[in-house]
Amino acid sequence: MPDRQTAVATRKPPPPRTSARRRKNGGMWRRGRVIAVLAILSALPLVFHRYVPNSIGNLGSLLDTFLPWVGVAVPVLGLAALVRRSATAGVALLVPALVWGLMFGNLLVPGKGGGGAYDLRVLTHNVDAANPDPEKTAQDLIAADADVMALEELTSSDLKIYKAAFAKLYPYQVSRDTVALWSKYPVVETKSVDVGFKWTRALRAEVSTPEGKVAVYVAHLASVRVGTSGFTSDQRNDTIKALGRQIADEQLAGVIVMGDFNGTANDRSLAPLTAGLRSAQGAAGTGFGFTWPSKFPMARIDHILVRGVTPTKAWVMSSTGSDHRPVVAELRI
């Protein structure tokens, strides 16, 4: 039987602590490789979204519409990287975070547009044909104190309610089927704008402000559908082209285009309309300006676009009972 000294002599010494530390640090870089790959892949839709074709279910436009939401992958994968304590995943996540920041970070910068004095406050709102309380919606819109208001998706019965509610503050009003405009300033000329529907979904009005005339367009473009055949937007795209041609031919220097376009500024299909126009929200608002659906907005499909006037401030109002939220902008003419 070995004595105590022999047993102590044959006992293996513990490994040095420095080796354990190296293994631990090395594991931080070896762990989370799958998360790192997913992080790199999440940057691809952002970088190459314009190369996703519309030939199959209009997938390109669908991706364009919800493109900012691709960035949700960063915090989700970041949490997974923290759980795994993976340095590799953490570094890889810098790629989609940087790409997203370069694409959308400017929307989060406060103070764009400069604020301050303005000449005209305008508002647009899809009031929803199924709105259960148009009277409340009318009072919410009055509280915004806009000089010019554009409303879309009006029913004939609801139009009477809005006319009665706005009569004292807005002496000038013009309507065409489901779209209408109210103004505190004289409306000197109006006409319907043909965008390819059997009924009128767009109008043009010349509003005579103290700083001069501006052409105001109110439009409600065709809806899109997401179904088994994909993202269906052909009819909407036709209305975009028709309205875009009308605005391109506009002779007045100051142009304001308002309404529900059923598409976001990122959607490539809106290019025939947005060409030469600035988004008031993009130029003078803070945040993404999501307007639909009203309970949890995920996309900005209601717009105020301008040419020849300068947005100084823009924002989205709270829900009014419609399935959309109103958009407001202050403009310098």
Strand ranges of the sheet holding 120-126, from the earlier edge strand across to the other edge:
172-176, 179-183, 148-152, 120-126, 327-332, 310-316
Residue 325's nearest CA partner among 311, 314, 309, 310 is 314
pTM strictly above 0.75: yes
pLDDT attached to residue 58: 75
User: In terms of domains, do 60 and 126 share one?
Assistant: no
Render pLDDT for 103-146 as a digit per residue (tens, 0 to 9).
999 999 887 888 889 999 999 999 999 999 999 999 999 999 99
User: In terms of domains, do 159 and 301 share one?
Assistant: yes
Rounded distance, CA 54 to CA 267, Å? 11
Render pLDDT for 208-232 as a digit per residue (tens, 0 to 9).
999 999 999 999 988 766 655 455 5
Domain of residue 60, residue span: 13-106
- What CATH number has the domain bearing residue 320? 3.60.10.10
pLDDT tens per residue across all 333 residues of the chain: 555 555 555 566 665 555 555 555 556 677 889 999 999 999 999 999 999 987 777 788 889 889 999 999 999 999 999 999 999 999 999 999 999 999 999 999 887 888 889 999 999 999 999 999 999 999 999 999 999 999 999 999 999 999 999 999 999 999 999 999 999 999 999 999 888 776 788 999 999 999 999 999 999 988 766 655 455 566 777 888 889 999 999 999 999 999 999 889 888 888 999 999 999 999 999 999 999 999 999 999 999 999 999 999 999 999 999 999 999 999 999
User: In terms of domains, do 174 and 241 share one?
Assistant: yes
User: In terms of domains, do 318 and 231 share one?
Assistant: yes
User: In terms of domains, do 49 and 150 share one?
Assistant: no
**Amino acid (one-letter) located at 67:** L
User: In terms of domains, do 194 and 319 share one?
Assistant: yes
DSSP string, 204-271: EEEEEETTEEEEEEEEEPPP-EEETTEEE-HHHHHHHHHHHHHHHT--SS-EEEEEE-SS-TT-GGGH
User: In terms of domains, do 145 and 89 share one?
Assistant: no
Render pLDDT for 93-106 as a digit per residue (tens, 0 to 9).
999 999 999 999 99
pLDDT attached to residue 16: 58
User: In terms of domains, do 131 and 100 share one?
Assistant: no
What sign has the CA pseudo-torsion 143, 145, 146, 149? positive
DSSP string, 291-308: -BSSSS--B--EEEEEES
Asked if residue 213 is part of any domain, the answer here is yes
Asked if residue 307 is part of any domain, the answer here is yes
Domains in the chain, number: 2
User: In terms of domains, do 152 and 296 share one?
Assistant: yes
Helical axes 156-166 vs 134-143, angle rounded to 10°: 40
